Amino acid sequence: MFSRPIHIGLSPNISADDYWLAVKSLFTPWSWKRGKSIEKVENWFKDHFEVHLAISFNAGRSALLAILESLNLEKNSEVLVQAYTCVAVPNSVVWAGLKPIYVDIDETLNLDIADAERKLTLRTKALIVQHTFGIPSDMDKLVAFAKKHNLLLIEDCAHALGGTYKNKLLGTFGEAAFFSFGRDKIVSSVFGGMAITNNKNLGTKIVQYREGLAYPSYLWILRQLLHVLISGWALALYQMAGAGKLILYLSQKLKLVSMPVYFKEILGRQPADFPKAYPNVLASLALWQLDKLPAMNECRRQIAKYYFENIKPSKVKLPVKVSGAVYLRYNLLTNRADEIRWQAKKQGMILGNWYHHTIDPKGVIWAKVGYPEGSCPRAEAVAATSLNLPTYPSLTKTQMQQIVSLFKG
Ligand SMILES: Cc1ncc(COP(=O)(O)O)c(C=O)c1O
């Protein structure tokens, strides 16, 4: 059942053992909300990052919101965020009563410090540093920049669990950091997130904030477990006369699974599901994968190495080669991105389109998330030309060769 086609979405991390864990968990609903796995995942983060506190949530966006709310910034303070991001990031800023100010990106696809400098005002109080696709931002410069302008630095490690900058773990450079266990992240429990901090005062406030949150409903938790099962079956049957696609379509229509970003969020509104506490059963899925993290990240690096060695930079722009990167997705830039995705699809390979929109996903209304059109030209151009290749650990050598063959000739 797990001889899967090349498909960058659909929980590519999920392997047979994760699948069976989700199946077994369906029959123990009494352990879905509270239980020991939550503390175990938090302790894993505390130990791994050697930080004072790790506080779990039901999504990365919930963790970010908790951090921002706990900073006690004056309403409408400005927070620098990069364009070429997921709408979940600026939305959390807005939901916290703050104002996102968009900064353009550099060649690493991370925040461009020169543009950040231009966009500073007296109201700028914080800076969210994203490590896009697991490629580390230049933390020496960013930490110095934040210090010089008295800004609180928050690391967005949604793509970068296990990545390093100059041999120091990403997530340990600022006031706080957050991680995502979303469906196609480094470690996935379909939804989930973690905030970490070494600042005791801030940590206490985040804990208090989380204590005030309810757990998601049983129905919501059930949907996440079903996601693991349904995506497993959909992948297994993907090439069978469209059966996999039909399963996916029907499960979305019947609301058996949740969308990664809700329609409300695309309109900038806050769904009642965020923020919530992290349910125990999802923590048990994450815990299982955290044990495999070093091996999984090594696989991602090896797959990225293969692409670096076998795709000619004359055909497309390759991502930057940086030690410490984890390459959640291997992102190429090409004017032929849509055409190549289409060609690949005809051959049964589903490649990725993060971030096909300056503030992703499709349909985000820029005015609602405060993005002034044209304010980050590089991010807008990069969004139009991005093409992601998969690096998930179950990708086989033959599949990698098949992908590379798209760029030959
Ligand atoms: C860069 C980035 N930050 C934050 C998030 C939000 O994480 P979550 O989906 O766990 O809320 C995402 C989601 O994809 C993301 O891509």
DSSP letters along 5-59, please? --BSSS-TT--HHHHHHHHHHHT-GGGSSSSHHHHHHHHHHHHHHT-SEEEEESS
pLDDT at position 62 over 90: yes
Say how many Å lie between the CA of residue 405 and the centre of ligand 1: 31
pLDDT at position 4 over 80: no
Mean pLDDT of all residues in 208-216: 98
Q: Among this protein's residues, is 33 annotated catalytic?
A: no
pLDDT bin (cut points 50, 70, 90) of residue 59 is very high
Q: What is the pLDDT of residue 244?
A: 85
Catalytic residue among 33, 99, 185, 276: 185
pLDDT at position 349 over 70: yes
pLDDT bin (cut points 50, 70, 90) of residue 308 is very high
pLDDT at position 350 over 80: yes
Q: Cβ < 6 Å from ligand 1: which residues?
A: 59-61, 85-86, 88-89, 130, 156, 158-159, 180, 182, 193
pLDDT in tens, 174-206: 999 999 999 999 999 999 999 999 999 999 999
Say how many Å lie between the CA of residue 110 and the centre of ligand 1: 15
Pocket perturbation via mutation, ligand 1, pick of 56, 89, 258, 369 by most ligand atoms within 8 A of CB: 89
Say how many Å lie between the CA of residue 361 and the centre of ligand 1: 11
Q: What is the pLDDT of residue 13?
A: 77
Atom of ligand 1 nearest to the CA of 274: 11
pLDDT at position 1 over 50: no
Side-chain half-sphere CA neighbours of 366 within 13 A = 14
- Which residue has 């999802």 as its token pair? 282
Tell me which amino acid residue 27 is.
Answer: F
Backbone angles phi, psi at 26, to 5 degrees: -55, -30
pLDDT in tens, 214-258: 999 999 999 999 999 999 888 888 878 788 888 888 998 999 999
Q: What is the pLDDT of residue 3?
A: 59
pLDDT at position 2 over 60: no
**93: number of Cβ within 10 Å:** 24
Q: Which long-range contacts (CB under 8 A, 24 or more apart) does 23-27 make?
A: 23/229, 25/225, 25/281, 25/284, 25/285, 26/222, 26/225
Structural domains in the chain?
31-211 (3.40.640.10), 293-407 (3.90.1150.10)
pLDDT at position 25 over 60: yes
Q: What is the pLDDT of residue 238?
A: 81
